[in-house]
A = this chain, B = another copy of it.
Amino acid sequence: MTGALIIAGLGPGSDHMVTPEVTAALARATDVVGYIPYVARIAPRPGLRLHPSDNRAELDRARAALEMAAAGKRVVVVSSGDPGVFAMASAVFEALEDRPDWHGLEIRVLPGITAMLAAAAAAGAPLGHDFCCINLSDNLKPWEVIETRLRHAARADFAMAFYNPRSASRPEGFARALGILRDECGADRLITFARAVSTPDQRIATVTLAEARPEMADMRSLVILGNSATRRVGPWVYAPRRAG
């Protein structure tokens, strides 16, 4: 048997957003690898081994998955959302760099509904015009890089989607980000907090930057800042197609 590695996106939470190609890949897998809560979404069955691992072990997890694929297993590495957006795909390619002997392995990335698309859909269409997507975690980059990106994004008048806005271990970063955004975009700019999108816990709230508080976000939140033209219509928020 020839091994293969598939890096698959499970979407933001609802099984109704898992693509058929991801479902089919999981049905053929011998091994599923991923962060504990994502692997918990996979139904056990005979012939399938589940390998849940901790959050900060991305590179080790990627190496273990490649090792199994090289040994002939059909391995699926699962990510929430899309595997290519702040998720496992980059970690797998990083792990691959050190091992030219693995470069011939069959590897496929299967896209998924990333959190910002599901959050935007639940709120209306706040990403309907040019936008950017920033991971606010400073685990893998210095705060100065985040600040520079926020300021350029504001001056480009991008809508902005923020992943990992706020964790218990570094609650001050998001407060600082909100301060920069208020400074650059003004107090009236709309900002949408989307929590646990597509799950029974989903909660969507749109406020102005003046009303926004850091506590409105946690690690299950995706935050979308509007551009200068973003507005409300009825219960919805959207970015018009024309530049503001």
Interface of A is mostly: mixed
Partner of A85, one of B11, B20, B128, B157: B128
Q: Interface size for chain A: under 10, 10 to 19, 20 to 34, or 35 or more residues? A: 35 or more
Q: Is the CB of A16 within 8 A of B16?
A: no
Which of B17, B122, B145, B234 has a CB less than 8 Å from the CB of A109? B122
A233 pairs with B96, CB closer than 8 A: yes
Contact A130 B121 (CB under 8 A): no
A81 to B19, CA, bound (A): 13
- Residues of B contacting A92 with CB < 8 Å? 125
Is there contact, CB below 8 Å, between A121 and B238? Answer: no
Given A58-B241, A148-B156, A153-B152, also A89-B128 (CB < 8 A): yes
* Cα separation A104 to B234 with both chains bound (whole Å): 8
In the complex, whether A15 has a CB less than 8 A from a CB of chain B is: yes
Min CB distance A9 to B, Å, is: 8
